[in-house]
Amino acid sequence: MRLDKYLKVSRIIKRRTVAKEAGEGGRVTINGKVAKPSSEVKEGDVLEIRFGDKLARYKVVSIAETVRKNEASLMYEVLDGETDL
């Protein structure tokens, strides 16, 4: 699944356009490598997302095309939470 779509479906980022902008801005990495919005996300990947001066790390647990709002948080595991840089 594309990175921007995964971030939207999992509700880590609420809008796909915002997820796309984060990828284009170099604020998202997959397994330590800077990712583009079209990068493929697989189960087991570690995502790092920079939100301003915060860094959040997530492990991809599952991939689904559609998911209910209350089940979206089951698609990932928070590794470090948000940490100050």
Domains of the chain: 3-84 (3.10.290.10)
pLDDT in tens, 13-28: 999 999 999 999 999 9
Report the SS3 class of residue 43.
coil
Region 42-64: what's the mean pLDDT?
94
What is the β-pairing status of strands 46-51 and 76-84?
A: unpaired
Cβ-contact 43, 63 below 8 angstroms: yes
Query: Can you give the pLDDT at residue 82?
Result: 55
C-alpha distances (whole Å) from 32 to each of 4, 28, 46, 62 are 17, 9, 8, 19
The candidate with the shortest Cα–Cα distance to 60, out of 21, 18, 10, 14, is 10
